[in-house]
């Protein structure tokens, strides 16, 4: 399934849960990760499943059963939520480089999804910057760079794919970005954020999201 076919089929879910991430970028990611196949499987050691290749572990970190990954809406919801969380963490971890609501924030969130936070942290330390263009330039100059056990060429491939997917996504919808958001949950589902993550709520959030946002604000004011 192509990027545009993914967007045509799943665009309603993508736009509902995308938070501050461009919808076209998400459609390109889905096409890349699973080819638009809802039952696609990935790395068995991680239990990757579905449109966005959500690991078996991630749902439990937000209080959701892993079975939710088996359905298109639940998989896209979880994938979008994971990107919001990683983007928010990056802004806290690298405040001098990652500006909330920036293109860099979302490209780096995708890089974390592709390489893992451990590898990205080592890469940032090696390069001396968490700005995506700087990292991209560095890995292109050092194509055989290895971090966290990745084979030569793998870091280059996964880093350059971020830019490729971004460009492809911009051909589907404008690459409009915003800050990471407390995305709404599918009907009948609730979730909780990891304790070290704070997300503002979007105006379009549902009742469950408002409850979570209120709790987060109460915690902050105290």
Q: Give the domain CATH number at 52.
A: 1.10.530.10
| Total domain count, the chain | 1
Q: Please check whether residue 183 is in contact with residue 81, taking contact to mean a CB–CB distance below 8 angstroms.
A: yes
pLDDT in tens, 137-189: 999 999 999 999 999 999 999 999 999 999 999 999 999 999 999 999 999 99
Q: Please check whether residue 83 is in contact with residue 106, taking contact to mean a CB–CB distance below 8 angstroms.
A: yes
Mean pLDDT of 112-120: 96
Q: Residue 202's pLDDT is what?
A: 64
- Alpha-carbon gap, residue 153 to 146, rounded angstroms: 8
Q: What is the mean pLDDT of the chain?
A: 91
- Alpha-carbon gap, residue 156 to 76, rounded angstroms: 26
DSSP 184: P
Dihedral of alpha carbons 152, 104, 19, 117, sign: positive
- Alpha-carbon gap, residue 214 to 200, rounded angstroms: 10
- Alpha-carbon gap, residue 200 to 144, rounded angstroms: 39
Range of the domain at 141: 3-221
Q: Residue 198's pLDDT is what?
A: 86
The better pLDDT of the pair 208, 35 is held by 35
Q: Please check whether residue 29 is in contact with residue 110, taking contact to mean a CB–CB distance below 8 angstroms.
A: yes
Q: Residue 217's pLDDT is what?
A: 31
In the predicted structure, residue 204 carries a pLDDT above the cut 90: no
Q: Please check whether residue 80 is in contact with residue 183, taking contact to mean a CB–CB distance below 8 angstroms.
A: yes
């Amino acid at each position: 399934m192509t990027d545009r076919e993914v967007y045509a089929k799943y665009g309603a879910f993508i736009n509902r849960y995308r938070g501050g991430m461009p919808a076209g970028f998400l459609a390109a990611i889905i096409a890349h990760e699973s080819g638009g196949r809802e039952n696609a499987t990935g790395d068995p050691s991680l239990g990757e499943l579905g449109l966005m290749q959500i690991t078996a572990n991630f749902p439990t970190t937000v209080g959701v059963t892993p079975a939710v990954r088996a359905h298109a809406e639940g998989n896209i919801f979880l994938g979008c939520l994971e990107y919001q969380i990683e983007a928010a963490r990056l802004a806290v971890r690298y405040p001098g480089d990652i500006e909330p609501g920036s293109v860099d924030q979302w490209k780096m969130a995708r890089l974390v999804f592709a390489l893992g936070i451990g590898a990205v942290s080592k890469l940032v330390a090696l390069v001396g910057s968490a700005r995506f263009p700087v990292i991209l330039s560095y890995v292109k100059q050092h194509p055989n760079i290895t971090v966290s056990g990745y084979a030569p060429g793998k870091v280059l491939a996964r880093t350059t794919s971020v830019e490729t997917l971004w460009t492809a996504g911009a051909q589907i919808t404008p690459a409009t970005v915003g800050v990471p958001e407390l995305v709404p949950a599918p009907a009948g589902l609730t979730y909780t954020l990891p304790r070290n993550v704070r997300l503002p709520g979007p105006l379009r959030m549902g009742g469950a999201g408002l409850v979570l946002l209120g709790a987060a604000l109460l915690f902050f004011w105290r």
